[in-house]
Structure 1
């Protein structure tokens, strides 16, 4: 398939890009700078210069592809307005395509669109209760769903980790450098974790399937508490378990309103992805995820 992707150098997008290329797909990736274009080219994609904030320059070309994966966000104060404007432009251009044109489209949501759920695991049937910083995603999803030219799949990843970046990698680096790990909020907070490699495989399966109206949660296992994660990091690095807890309010002040999600305790199931697309996460435990970061 010929597939267009945004966020191709990000944690989620780069994993999806790799999975697609590994399975022989032809991938074009949006690049906001020459540096990103060179990076994407080295990864094996065809870079297309453009920016999320100016979608009119690249959306017509994106719609010439068989599939589109949206895995980018600015994480700036205007990220909601930027995303909604991009989606509006995408739908406007897609609506002018022939009625029989169908493009497989994946939109990236996230577990923070769901409410706190520290006991009963979240499924796709749960009522949404988005973090205020991401409430705009519901408008984007609704607008895309209404466009008949898209076979829309929405994927809600858990907290994404990877070999070289993300929560666990950061904790490993902290304990090795300073002998202490910093946890935001509370050690009792539960996170549904998903490894980027597994998530990339799910994106690949979903874009190939092209099912319309499909909603998928993505987590390698239901959850792990921050205490369990930190203790596993200490055990596998062979270093003493020592943590400092940063108040959630401080994290919000430092990173922005979106950081409130770091305090949202959740468990989440991904049975639908497994049953519908035969998805089998390789990283299905905290131990495996930590071992990958060592």
Structure 2
């Protein structure tokens, strides 16, 4: 298949694109800058310049492809506190991509969190997240002749390719403050997946998942945040401390909103449907390998 990938210069795409190419698919990657275009080209994909502000251009690219893997998101707006704006942009893009594919039976894979696979609790945990509404669009698109598939990507996607996810942010905060922090008793759980395992899941989903499928890409159901903080503290040689709820924003900045997140994710049905079995290092083992702390 000829696959159009948005967010092609990003972390997840760095595994998805090679996985698709190695399976014999052609890949066209969206790049919004010269630096992103160089990354996409180095991965072996064809480059298409554009960005999320041009839904018509994205729709045209989708119409030229056999399938779309939509990975792009306005993370800068989210980090600046405008999650609603970032989600609104994403919704506009998904609608444009879906309109281009309506009635074709072509695949549209997106990032979002469904409630299947024994994960009904995610509706409560993420209920106020404006991105949830966009995820619901995939069910609607499946009824319009699109093989729409929602992929629930865990909060932590980790590997040596990770430069801006949860782990680099926590490590950066620990370096800046001299404390590796957690909140409460630190027993809240963050599910995780290695980047290469996630790349394999996307390829399998492209080839196998039926319209309307809600997949969950957790290799680990949940890792206690205190366990993560302890590895970071030991590696950096800084104390590991509980940060009171009222000081989360002071200590963690915008990331304080994520520190209490407790969202274990089950992926048993996804594994059975796709034949997906994660094989890469787990989150703590990956931290222990040291690449997150190299060069400092």
Q: Same fold (TM over 0.5)?
A: yes
Q: Deviations over 1:154-176 (max 9, x none)?
A: 11111222224333345556667
Superposed CA offset, 1:70-120 (max 9, x none): 11111323212212222222233333xxx5x3212211114xx66xxxxxx
Change (3 A) 1:11 1:186: farther
Structure 2 counterpart of 1:136: 133
Equivalent position SS for 1:223: strand
Give the C-alpha shift of residue 48 in structure 1.
0.5
Task: Give the alignment's Cα RMSD to 1 decimal.
Answer: 3.1
Q: Deviations over 1:19-60 (max 9, x none)?
A: 222333211011112221122112211111111121102312
Are residues 1:242 and 2:250 paired? no
Structure 2: segments with no counterpart, 5+ residues: 292-296
Contact 1:71 1:107 in 2 (8 A): yes
The CA distance in 2 between the partners of 1:253 and 1:178, in whole Å, is 9
Structure 1 residues 28 and 173 mapped into 2: Cα distance closer, same or farther (>3 Å)? Answer: same
Alignment match, 2:56: 56
- The 1-side partners of 2:28 and 2:10 are apart by 15
SS in 1 for 2:24: coil
Q: Which residue of 2 aligns with 1:117?
A: none
Q: Larger deviation: 35-44 or 128-137? A: 128-137
SS at match of 1:275: helix
CA distance in 2, matches of 1:260, 1:145: 33
Tell whether 2:78 aligns with 1:83.
no
Structure 2 counterpart SS, 1:224: strand
What's the counterpart of residue 271 of structure 1? 268
Partner of 1:118: none
Equivalent residue, structure 1, for 2:228: 229
2:194–2:282 Cα contact (<8 Å) kept: no
Give the match for residue 72 of structure 1. Answer: 72
Alpha-carbon distance in 2 for matches of 1:81, 1:229 = 32
CA deviation string 1:151-201 (max 9, x = no partner) = 121111112222243333455566678764244676232111111111111
SS of match in other structure, 1:91: helix
User: Against the structure 1 CA distance between its residues 215 and 175, is the aligned structure 2 distance closer, same or farther, given a 3 Å change threshold?
Assistant: same
Asked if the contact 1:32–1:50 (Cα under 8 Å) also holds between the matched residues in 2, the reply is yes
2:294 aligns with none
Deviations 1:235-263 (A, max 9, x none): 5x48465346375751799438xx63442
Name which structure has the greater RCO, CA cutoff 8 Å, separation 6+: 1
Q: Spell out, residue by residue over 1:187-224, the C-alpha distance to the aligned partner (whole angstroms, 9 max, x if none).
A: 23211111111111100111121422211111112111
The answer on 1:108 being equivalent to 2:104 is: no
CA distance in 2, matches of 1:285, 1:33: 33
Partners of 2:47 and 2:23 lie apart in 1 by 19
Deviates more, 1:162-171 or 1:216-225: 162-171
| Superposition deviation, residue 124 in structure 1 | 4.5
Aligned length: 278
Structure 2 Cα separation of the partners of residues 67 and 86 of structure 1: 15
Matches of 1:140 and 1:17 in 2, distance apart?
25
Q: 1:277: Cα distance to partner?
A: 1.2
Residue 146 (str. 1) matches residue 153 (str. 2): no
Per-residue CA deviation, residues 96-150 of structure 1 (Å, 9 max, x unaligned), is xxx5x3212211114xx66xxxxxx9724556233434233244334423321x2
C-alpha spacing 1:9/1:185, structure 2 compared with 1 (3 Å): farther
* C-alpha contact (below 8 Å) 1:122/1:267 kept by paired residues: no
Partner Cα distance (1:45, 1:252) in 2: 41
